[in-house]
Amino acid sequence: MKKIIVLFYVLGLGITYAQNEKYQGQPPIEIVPTDARPVQRQWKGNFTFDDDAVMFSNDFDGARLNGIVKNNDSTYTVLITPENTPINTSPWYAFKVWAKEKNPINVVMTYHESAKHRYYPKLSSDGLVWSPLDSINYTEYEKGDKAFGPGSLPVKVSMKLHIGPDTLWVSGQELHTSHHVSAWVDSLAKKDFIAKKIIGKSRQDRNLNLLAIGKETSKNMLIVISRQHPPEVTGYLAMKTFIETITSDTKLAKKFRRKFTTYVVPLMNPDGVDNGHWRHNAGGIDLNRDWANFNQPETRAVKHFMEEKVRQNQGKFYFGIDFHSTWDDIYYTVDPDLEGNMPSLVTDWLTDIKKELDGYDPNIRPSDNMLPTTVSRNYFFVAHGAEALVFEIGDNTPRAFLKKKARVSANILMQLMLERLK
């Protein structure tokens, strides 16, 4: 099964739209304190050995490598630990490795007690273009007895890497740090109908960038956010294509922008991303548990922005979506019996997406438990009446299908919202 998934990823084939066994979703959200807690900052630098023949580094944004030992001339064991605990099983890793001479080495990935290996290795020669490690060079140990989901994960893995004088980047997912995201934001902001704004600062004083797509005086608004959890790159990639579709030159997109303005916060947790965190911000908190208390500056900035736009424009947020990643595609929606500003919008949207994508069967998990708001979906719905959801993209979703799904989703959403606007 492992080799099949990787092959589909490499080829971009669209025939594994969902696993045979669907992920049943997370248990009911646990309400936890969101006052800041300490985090363990990783030491940054180059990891060298007696002969200096091979070197590792975590001295770059997005890196995670907490310790390493040389077992013999060809084997190295890496330790990956989280920023703090308790924390879910999403151990992020990213490092560089090079050698004086070309040779293969084995790198064994290990984690702190109770954590398991989750993200299939991606390789790059420049930190920009990535491809998955060939499955013949990948071995799992002490794999869980479940066929799918957290219970299927191995305790550790070994990867065979072919290294030399040129730097090899190794990461759990493609690297998209605050620098990469800012470059994408700046490229879109060159269009005359898009404005870039800074709506606040993170705990470590990084900018919280926002894109305003359309007329900023419009009464009809959408909110889109992404990357509350640092390793959840597939959700970010889907968000990018979703927004690029709304900002395209099609007749539908142009018509939509005349009626609706879309506000986007593409990187909610820049500190966590740049520090290589597994899940939390620099305050040691899961941001998607802070949408009731607003103790963290990142959630507070979005809250204040939305409130101010409603006040300034005397308008409404009709739709809100928060892009994440998990074991397989899943849509955490608001129970359709609870009506917001555009009743049945999300239900009809997902129905039409299923019709448009042959073989795709959306995994939809509605909830009627909206209080306390706690998570972004609940806040968007309760505070603003926005038809809201969390859209989780599978960790191993083929990138070509990921983009197709996001593009189709954006086009169907624009059409439905235009039809329903009174």
pLDDT digits (tens, 9 = 90+) for 345-387: 999 999 999 999 999 999 999 999 999 999 999 999 999 999 9
Q: Domains in the chain, ordered, with CATH? A: 45-171 (2.60.40.3120), 178-420 (3.40.630.10)
Q: What confidence tens digit (pLDDT) does each residue in 318-339 have?
A: 999 999 999 999 999 999 999 9
CA-CA distance, 131 to 122, in Å (whole number)? 5
pLDDT at 26 over 80: no
Of 21-25, 32-36, 97-101, minimum mean pLDDT range: 21-25
Mean pLDDT of the chain: 93
Residue 113 has pLDDT above 90, yes or no: no
CB atoms within 10 A of CB 52: 9
Q: Which residue has the higher pLDDT, 6 or 198?
A: 198
pLDDT tens-digit map of 206-257: 999 999 999 999 999 999 999 999 999 999 999 999 999 999 999 999 999 9
Q: 3-state class of 225 per DSSP?
A: strand
pLDDT band at 21 (very low <50, low <70, confident <90, very high): low
Mean pLDDT across the stretch 40-53? 93
Residue 419: count of CB within 10 angstroms of its CB:
8
| Model pLDDT for residues 50-66, shown as the tens digit of each residue | 888 999 999 999 999 99
SS3 4: helix
d(CA 231, CA 76): 24
pTM over 0.85: yes
**Measured between alpha carbons, how far is residue 252 from residues 18, 56, 215, 266, 347 in Å?**
29, 49, 16, 23, 21
Number of helices followed by number of strands (H, E) in the chain: 9, 19
